[in-house]
Amino acid sequence: MRHFQEANFLVPVRPLDGPSPHDVVWRPASNARILQVLKNPAYAGAYVYGRRRRTPIGRRSGSRQGATEAVAIQDWPVCLKDAFPGYIDWEEFMANQRRLADNLNHYDANRHGVPRQGNALLQGIAICGRCGRRMGLHYSGQNGNYPVYLCRADQHQHGGPRCQEVRALGVDAAVERLLLEALTPDRLALAIAALGELENEARALERQWSLKRERARYEAERARRQYDAVEPENRLVARSLERVWEDKLRQAEQIDIEYESWRRQQPISLAAADRAQIISLGEDLPKLWDAASVVERKQILRLVVKEVVLDQRPESGQVWIRIIWQTGAVSEHKVRRNVSSYRNYADVATLEARVRDLVVARKIDREIARVLNADGLVSAHGRPFSGGEVHLLRKRWNIPTVKINRTEHNPRQWPDGTYSVQGAAEALSISTQTVFKWLQKGRLSGHQITKGMPWQINLSNTQIVELRTQVRRTTLSKKEAS
């Protein structure tokens, strides 16, 4: 309907009001009229009877006649195919009816509805892998930017708990990647097909404009013949016919002006640069995908994918995906999901083994985090690993930190001349707890390569003498006070 209105195409209507026979009137397209054309089997060359039947349900108050309801196509009492030439064949007509029925958002009847606005890519085609029902949608977050696929049929019907809910962003990204991989071998064929569709559409529009101009010229010529056929003495009739003739001429002239304007905006044959651009877009599917709108992406997906079955596995920290393609092929995949604890982390044993291997390789926490991120691993919350996160993992799995001196006890002094905590305590005649306290207060200066590794404390001979003297005085003062 919007396409007809944008192209300024009129549709024929035979009004039921007024004297009979009723003349055909050309009017702007309406949604009801377009649906009548799409649902009328006469356009497919079929004669049918019994498309609707009366039902006592829904009778209006004060009306003697009952309401009517539509009858399924397979239950029509009379259906004579190929009774007369049609604009389309019966198979295309049935495909149109299935598409119209499927455009309704009626999940219980296994209809996924038309693509709508919203970031969720699998809207309408996501199936629960536990109960087999279609999954609904919920947008969470402060601005509604985080879609979630929900299966809550049992909750609505029986007051039970939700079957499952799956966050959509990670699943959509995986399905998008699989879709582009599936279409990559045919990217050039897709570009040529898209180019052919554009040219066919341009030719169809040109044909419609040609018929519209021909009809306007015919109406003007018909009005002229009527004016010429009137007797000169019938002045009133001649004057009215002359006005009709002038109106028809103006209408034909206006249609020609609109046609020329359309020709300038939408040329029939695409230029060489346009053809090259379309082919280049077809060769670069990710760029074409990124340039498409949300609704266009869902339409592209539904041309290739029929349904996507989702099952969130809490014990493995994964989402199991089963893609049913339009060709009938089926593929299964797994996507790691974000979890709140490493108890549900996907393949946690592999992560632990990797951390242990890196510790054996004498990697500190910061270096381990860098290696894990380079391997493509992410933390339980979906973020890159940091040194602090690796430190917590080591504590969780009882993995000791890397020793500067491997597995031996810390020496009194390190090779670079700095002191360990034990060495500083011995040199200053204080306890190790006092050493840590002085480091915290800044009385001693030192550093750690990373958290959990031994301290390397800077102490000169002068500092040792001064601090030992202060410690001795403090000890003597405490003894005298006691």
pTM of the full predicted structure? Answer: 0.55
**What pLDDT is recorded for position 108?**
53
Phi, psi dihedral angles at 196 (to 5 degrees): -65, -40
Q: Show Cβ contacts of residue 119 under 8 Å, excluding neighbours closer than 6 positions.
A: 139, 145, 147, 168, 172, 294
Pull the structure tokens for residue 66. 């009952």
Pull the structure tokens for residue 425. 């305590």
Tally of residues, the chain: 482
d(C-alpha 120, C-alpha 136), whole Å: 11
**What pLDDT is recorded for position 413?**
83
Q: Name the residue among 289, 281, 329, 284 with its Cα closest to residue 172.
A: 289
pLDDT band for position 49 (cuts 50, 70, 90): very high
**What pLDDT is recorded for position 29?**
83
Q: Name the residue among 257, 174, 178, 244 with its Cα closest to residue 212.
A: 257
Check whether 164 has a pLDDT greater than 70.
Answer: yes
Strand partners, 333: 321
Strand partners, 167: 148
Check whether 335 has a pLDDT greater than 70.
Answer: yes
Q: What is the pLDDT of residues 94-107, one digit of tens each?
A: 988 888 877 776 55
**What pLDDT is recorded for position 185?**
63
pLDDT band for position 139 (cuts 50, 70, 90): confident
Distance of alpha carbon 216 from the chain centroid: 46
Pull the structure tokens for residue 267. 């040329």
Pull the structure tokens for residue 313. 């596995």
